[in-house]
């Protein structure tokens, strides 16, 4: 041990950085063990390879959250307990276009079309491996439904992500509480 005081910013960055690495490793292991060996569609090998590459990219997690949050596996009670705003008031479901629009609003570019195209391509990848199902609500409107596979994949990632940081944070908080 050294006598110097740790830098709080470095400690937090290290804790969360290594937790992110651990979470991403768990996410990739889960994909390789539970998702990739069992494609849900009859997509050709080239499409499967492209979908695998896309899903292994950490950017996929950001997009997968949308159909997951609107799935039957995430209840209004879960959303409230997590301290999040209720699900989108416009619809109780998510579509390719709505994912593209959410991304567009988040990144603030002038043209939403590239984001809608990106979202649509990602949905095709998700369908190949059974992470979402697309259900026709009416002509030209298809709901994306997150599956149990998607739920398990994201729970694996986020639980591993939170374990590394939460455990230490809880220990630190317990040390700071007065005995009583």
Which pLDDT belongs to residue 89? 55
Q: DSSP character for 70?
A: T
Is residue 57's pLDDT more than 60? yes
pLDDT classification of 106: cutoffs 50, 70, 90:
confident
Retrieve residue 125's tokens: 């990848």
pLDDT classification of 51: cutoffs 50, 70, 90:
very high
Fold adopted by 41-163:
Arc Repressor Mutant, subunit A (1.10.10)
Quick one: what percent of the chain has pLDDT higher than 70?
Answer: 87
Torsion angle, CA of 160/127/133/163, rounded to 10 degrees? 0
Which pLDDT belongs to residue 180? 39
Which pLDDT belongs to residue 168? 59
Q: Which of 18-27, 44-53, 76-85 has the weakest average pLDDT? A: 76-85
* The model's pTM: 0.83
Domain ranges in the chain?
A: 41-163
Q: Minimal CA–CA distance to 61: which of 49, 72, 69, 73? A: 69
Which pLDDT belongs to residue 41? 82
Q: List, for residues 134-152, the tens digit of each pLDDT value.
A: 999 999 899 999 999 999 9
**Cα 25 from Cα 56, distance rounded (Å):** 10
């Amino acid at each position: 041990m050294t006598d110097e005081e740790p830098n709080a910013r470095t400690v937090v960055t290290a804790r969360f950085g290594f937790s992110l690495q651990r979470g991403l490793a768990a996410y990739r292991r889960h994909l390789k063990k539970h998702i990739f060996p069992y494609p849900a569609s009859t997509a050709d090998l080239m499409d499967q390879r492209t979908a695998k590459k896309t899903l292994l990219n950490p950017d996929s997690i950001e997009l997968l959250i949308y159909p997951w949050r609107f799935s039957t596996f995430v209840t209004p009670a879960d959303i409230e307990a997590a301290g999040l705003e209720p699900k989108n008031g416009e619809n109780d479901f998510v579509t390719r276009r709505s994912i593209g629009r959410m991304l567009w609003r988040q990144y603030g570019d002038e043209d939403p079309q590239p984001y809608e195209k990106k979202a649509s391509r990602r949905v095709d990848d998700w369908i190949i491996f059974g992470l979402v199902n697309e259900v026709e609500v009416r002509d030209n409107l298809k709901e994306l439904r997150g599956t149990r596979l998607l739920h398990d994949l994201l729970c694996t990632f986020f639980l591993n992500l939170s374990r590394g940081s939460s455990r230490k944070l809880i220990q630190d908080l317990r040390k700071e509480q007065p005995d009583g």
